[in-house]
Amino acid sequence: MSSDKEYDVCLLLEGTYPFVAGGVSSWIHNLIKGMPELTFTAVCILASSKEKAEYRYDVPDNFVDPKIVYLHDPVEISKNPFKKISGKNMEQLRRFHYRMDRNDISMMRGMVELFRDDKFPLSELFHGKKAWDLLVERYKADTNDESFIDYFWTYRFTHLPIFKMLPIDLPKAKVYHTISTGYAGLLGVIARVMTGRPLLLTEHGIYVKERKIEISQAEWVYRKEDDRLRVDSKLGAFQTFWIRMFEQLGRLCYDYSSAIYTLYEGNRQLEIQEGADPDKIRIIPNGISLDNFLGLKAEDHDYQGQTEFAVGFVGRVVPIKDVKTFLRAIKIVSIKIEKLKVYIMGPTEEDEEYYEECVNLVRLLHLEEVVEFTGKVRVTDYLPGLDVIVLTSISEAQPLVIMEANCAGIPAVASDVGSCRELLEGRTVADQALGPSGIVTKVADPVSTGEAILKILTSPILRSKMSKAGIERVKTFYKESDLNETYLNIYKDYMAMDDLE
Amino acid sequence: MAGIGFELRKLLRGDSFLSDMSAYLYAAMVSSGPWLMSVLCLAVLGLYSYSGFSPKDQDIFRTTIVYVYAFTLIYVGYIQLVVTRYLADRFYMGDEKITLTAFSTSAAIVLLAGGIISVGGIWFFELTFNYKIIAVVLFLIVAMIWLTMIFLSAVKDFRSIVQAFAVGTSCSVGGAFLLYPLAGLEGYLLGYTLGQAVIFFWLLARLLAEFPPGRVWDPEMFSYFIKYWELALIGMFFNLAIWVDKIMFWFAPDSRMVVPYLRTHDMYEGPIFFAYLTIVPTLAIFLVKIETKFYEHYHDYFAKIISKQNLSSVLKEKQGMISMLKESLREILIVQGSLTMLCIFMAPEFVDMVGLSPLQQPLLQIALVGSLMQVMLSVAVIILFYFDLRKEVLAVTLVFLLSNVGLTWLTMQLGFSFYGYGYCYSCFISLMFAYYLVSKSVRDLEYITFSSQPLF
């Protein structure tokens, strides 16, 4: 370990805080800010030093000495003709690979130690004969029908970042906390193996699943021509190669983590599918800071006799948010309700083409008078005037929009993705007892979405109940301060723990 | 992650990279071909001598020519392969304008350093001042011929090279005969030099006609001497290895000083030079073979890799390349071997015909075997160059050089009946070593090709 300084928590971050803004980054920022009594450090994995690493956050004082690792920077390979891989170690490497194929990770510890003892010099792994022989052996020269040159480059590109992670000097900490599996997760595994300190994992999105989607859409991974033309969605051999590597990294991280935290039940199921031990997983939903939203709508607001209504959609105008289903649902609503106003609040420039299609759809449905694209705005300015908030996303994790709607006392209609159902109907028994704070509909179903909106708008009693349930739900279960307290307790428990074997 | 397999693609995309490979081949031809012409030229001049042309004059002249050829080849060697590589890379990038710029730059180096070396080298010889001047000019002209050949090899115009040498060599013979009556030995050398000048200017004219004019000085070329230092060493040491046994014999106890310090070894040189003439057919066969059949296999092998074939079909292609190589080597061995055998049996008649001493007959015979080995060695080296295995070639070169020095020294200790064996065994050892490297490299070809790829 490089320095003697010991930190309380070492975060292992891949492409997020404090250099990239986003949901996860904000979460980390609030977490650190929320527990000033602990010192945090971090190892931040970034793509390449070509992109400027600038802080996107005003980092708190207890976040110190972050270390940056560049995944795709060229490596200096020092050549030393006397440094060879011994036959015995090569045999270990071979066995390690074959065991990993069978999801047996028992040799990981030994491999990490050998790597860190410099028993596998990079020049030998990439230019040596023994490593070459292993590559050809694993390619299965006699039977394999795949392009060899692509196998070769895929091997290099998948292994190089791993080889880079393995010898990294990690800060000394009482607890290591990785916010994803993948390369950061690998760092966590290394830290766990080398220091014996516990490793915690929090996953907002499921890394392996996200990589799978990315890779199956990736153009740069070579696939045979006939594979691409086939109707079924069978993945090419090299896509499988990549995915298998991320799956294995995921499984390693799950296995070496002392505890796994995620936002909602759906994620938990995915993690179990990817090999995580169900007993280790605990759901800790995100929290929000109540101050900004509480009281936007007066709790004793009278819904009776209302004839003018306003509906809000908060989100970027992009396909994954399925704005078109929302618009079709609005058409249904507009037939029944004359005085209707609809705000689509979110940037439109991210996918210009899709935005254009949505504008056309508005025209086609004769909704020009009703629908307004506001562009990027401060949602709090609009919330007090809204009667219902709609979310038609195809994919979500734990959408902040719904939490904000709950908090502001505005009922929501949301598609059944991510944790929307938990947020609107309650997760635990106590939560469910509060009653629904909105209606969950099927994905891409304009009719039921429209009907749900109508139902909420036309029944003042229901709206009033939902409004109250939402405010109560957030206050009780999604308070940011509670979230920080939960994590603080977790940290304290694991920091106090004896070194693990 | 872009740029997958770029280096390999570079291998295949341009014909220029392959012209790079054949450029190595030409470079090898350059050092063998024209110098054969000179041996021929010397033989012609030696066969028809003037009455009154004293044997001493004959010796001075012959020794001068041999020295000039030997030392220009060694001297230009350091620049030969490096410039070849530089040109090939520049052509690959589509920069043909650089040719004349690179030529003038390297010509400046060759002339400047060559002038100093030749003047310094010849100064202490007891020759007339005029003779020394002409000899220096000859040295520079011949050095420039080698240099021009490298640049012309890019054009692949064999015909004008052969024409230039045919005409120039005739002019040398004619000029020597014509000018001897006017100015004696100095005239003889001047005539010869004029003929060589014809070759040079003929080649130069061809070069100027082919390429557009450019800048005069090209500083970038020098970085290649650092980047491809192996090539500089190979070029110089390989030529030195070819000549080192002759040079050592000039200083043997039974060598002869023609005039201080122009030395010759009557018994050794003649048979070696004549034996050397027998490799012409092999060079011709091999040139054609490698330019056609081997090139095809070599191309197809990499094409299979680039076109995303599986490993087993790549390996199948390699098998084709291996059997083709084996076949070519067998063919060369049969043709060259029969010729060598024939010459060995005909040695007595040949010795008689060219006026060698019968004592030299065994030396001629062993030299014939040595030449056979040497030409096979050149073939092996060219194959190694095809795969760009510079370090391996450098190793072969050093083995050749050191074994030739060591074994030649040994034979000089053992006495006359062992002369030639040193050279012959040195060629044999180097050949075996080179052959081992070739077979190992071909066996590990995928490994060598892929693993040497840079990471990014």
Strand partners, B257: B263
Q: Determine the Cα–Cα distance for residues A79 and A123; give it in Å rounded to an integer.
A: 6
Interface A-B: count of C-beta contacts within 8 A: 58
Q: Which of B314, B446, B455 sits opposite A156 (nearest CB)?
A: B455
> Do B343 and B368 contact (CB within 8 A), yes or no?
yes
CA-closest candidate to residue A186, choices A202, A215, A162: A162
A141 to B311: CB separation less than 8 angstroms, yes or no:
yes
Q: Determine the Cα–Cα distance for residues B257 and B271; give it in Å rounded to an integer.
A: 19
Amino acid at A97: H
A157 to B1: CB separation less than 8 angstroms, yes or no:
yes
> CB under 8 Å, gap of 24 or more: what pairs does A243-247 form?
A243/A208, A243/A211, A243/A212, A243/A215, A243/A216, A245/A158, A245/A162, A246/A181, A246/A182, A246/A207, A246/A208, A246/A211, A246/A212, A246/A215, A247/A208, A247/A274, A247/A275
Q: Given pLDDT bands bounded at 50, 70 and 90, which one contains residue B26?
A: low
- A425 token code pair: 């109907």
In the stretch 63-102 of chain B, residues with CB closer than 8 A to chain A read none
B311 to A144: CB separation less than 8 angstroms, yes or no:
yes
**DSSP structure class, residue A258:** S
**Residue B73: its pLDDT value, please?**
85
Q: Does A226 touch chain B (CB under 8 A)?
A: no
Geometric angle at alpha carbon B80, from B74 and B84, rounded to 5°: 165
**Residue A231: its pLDDT value, please?**
39
What is the signed CA dihedral for A333, A334, A337, A342, rounded to 10 degrees?
90
Cα R_g (chain B), whole angstroms: 23
- A476 token code pair: 């009780």
Please report residues of B whose CB lies closer than 8 A to that of A156. Answer: 455
Q: Given pLDDT bands bounded at 50, 70 and 90, which one contains residue B287?
A: low
A126 to B450: CB separation less than 8 angstroms, yes or no:
no
- A386 token code pair: 């809204």
Q: Does B8 touch chain A (CB under 8 A)?
A: yes
Q: Burial code of B288-318, b = ≥16 C-beta within 10 A, e = fewer?
A: ebbeebbbebbbbbbebbbebbbbeebbebb
Asked if pLDDT for residue B3 goes beyond 60, the answer is: no
**Residue B48: its pLDDT value, please?**
64
In the stretch 40-59 of chain A, residues with CB closer than 8 A to chain B read none
Q: Does B3 touch chain A (CB under 8 A)?
A: no
For chain B, report the end-to-end CA distance as a whole number of angstroms.
8
Q: Burial code of A156-166, b = ≥16 C-beta within 10 A, e = fewer?
A: bbeebbeebbb
In the stretch 274-333 of chain B, residues with CB closer than 8 A to chain A read 305-306, 308-312, 314-315
B455 to A75: CB separation less than 8 angstroms, yes or no:
yes
CA-closest candidate to residue B113, choices B152, B144, B145, B149: B144
Q: Determine the Cα–Cα distance for residues A356 and A374; give it in Å rounded to an integer.
A: 14
Q: Determine the Cα–Cα distance for residues B302 and A472; give it in Å rounded to an integer.
A: 70
Q: Determine the Cα–Cα distance for residues A194 and B240; give it in Å rounded to an integer.
A: 58
Mutate to test the interface with B, among A138, A139, A148, A156 (most CBs of B within 10 A): A148
Asked if pLDDT for residue B38 goes beyond 50, the answer is: yes
- A155 token code pair: 């091997």
Strand partners, A10: A41, A176
Q: B2 to chain A: nearest residue by CA?
A: A220
Please report residues of A whose CB lies closer than 8 A to that of B447. Answer: 129, 132
Q: Does A156 touch chain B (CB under 8 A)?
A: yes
Q: Determine the Cα–Cα distance for residues A438 and A455; give it in Å rounded to an integer.
A: 10
> Do A445 and A458 contact (CB within 8 A), yes or no?
no
pLDDT in tens, B308-350: 889 999 999 999 888 888 888 888 888 889 999 999 999 999 8
Residues belonging to chain A:
501
Q: Does A279 touch chain B (CB under 8 A)?
A: no
In the stretch 104-143 of chain A, residues with CB closer than 8 A to chain B read 126-129, 132, 136, 139, 141-142
Nearest-neighbour CA in chain B from A113: distance (Å): 25
pLDDT, averaged across chain A:
89
Q: Determine the Cα–Cα distance for residues A8 and A25; give it in Å rounded to an integer.
A: 20
Helix, coil or strand: residue A498 = coil
Instruction: Cite the DSSP H helix spans in A18-107.
Output: 23-34, 87-101
Strand partners, A344: A313, A373
Residues belonging to chain B:
456
> Do A129 and A90 contact (CB within 8 A), yes or no?
no
Q: Given pLDDT bands bounded at 50, 70 and 90, which one contains residue A76?
A: confident
Helix, coil or strand: residue B378 = helix
CA-closest candidate to residue A16, choices A191, A178, A256, A248: A178
Lowest mean pLDDT among A79-83, A219-223, B18-22, B122-126: B18-22
Lowest mean pLDDT among B93-107, B273-287, B406-420: B273-287
Q: Which of B308, B315, B451 sits opposite A149 (nearest CB)?
A: B308
Beta-strand pair A309-314/A340-345:
parallel
pLDDT in tens, B237-250: 998 999 999 999 99
Q: Does B446 touch chain A (CB under 8 A)?
A: yes
Geometric angle at alpha carbon A159, from A156 and A164, rounded to 5°: 115
Q: Determine the Cα–Cα distance for residues A168 and A67; give it in Å rounded to an integer.
A: 10
**DSSP structure class, residue B294:** I
ipTM of the complex: 0.70
Q: Determine the Cα–Cα distance for residues A28 and A14; give it in Å rounded to an integer.
A: 12
pLDDT in tens, A5-57: 899 999 999 988 899 887 788 899 999 999 999 999 999 999 888 888 889 89
As a whole number, mean pLDDT of residues B382-405 equals 92
Q: Is the pTM of this model over 0.80?
A: no
pLDDT in tens, A112-142: 999 988 889 888 898 889 999 999 999 887 7
**DSSP structure class, residue B291:** I
A148 to B447: CB separation less than 8 angstroms, yes or no:
no
* Region of residue A289 (left: phi > 0; alpha: psi -120 to 50; beta: else): beta
Asked if pLDDT for residue B376 goes beyond 60, the answer is: yes
- A12 token code pair: 């292992």
Query: Distance of alpha carbon B393 from its chain centroid, rounded?
Result: 15
Residue for token pair 């949602």: A379
Nearest-neighbour CA in chain B from A292: distance (Å): 44
Please report residues of B whose CB lies closer than 8 A to that of A150. Answer: 4, 308
Please report residues of B whose CB lies closer than 8 A to that of A220. Answer: 1-2, 4
Q: Does A145 touch chain B (CB under 8 A)?
A: yes
Q: B446 to chain A: nearest residue by CA?
A: A132
**Residue B294: its pLDDT value, please?**
77
Q: Does B6 touch chain A (CB under 8 A)?
A: no
Nearest-neighbour CA in chain A from B314: distance (Å): 9
Question: How many DSSP H helices and E strands does chain B contain?
Answer: 16, 2
Q: Determine the Cα–Cα distance for residues A320 and A328; give it in Å rounded to an integer.
A: 16
Q: Determine the Cα–Cα distance for residues B174 and B176; give it in Å rounded to an integer.
A: 5
pLDDT in tens, B56-89: 888 898 889 889 988 998 999 888 889 888 887 8
Q: B315 to chain A: nearest residue by CA?
A: A141
Asked if pLDDT for residue B4 goes beyond 50, the answer is: no
Q: Does A220 touch chain B (CB under 8 A)?
A: yes
**DSSP structure class, residue A368:** T
A149 to B305: CB separation less than 8 angstroms, yes or no:
yes
Lowest mean pLDDT among A332-336, B144-148, B182-186, B331-335: B331-335
CA-closest candidate to residue A111, choices A130, A123, A94: A94
Q: Does A163 touch chain B (CB under 8 A)?
A: no
Q: Where are the beta strands (DSSP E) in A297-434?
A: 309-314, 340-345, 371-375, 388-391, 412-415
With the C-alpha atoms ordered A395, A400, A405, A409, is the resulting torsion angle positive or negative?
A: positive
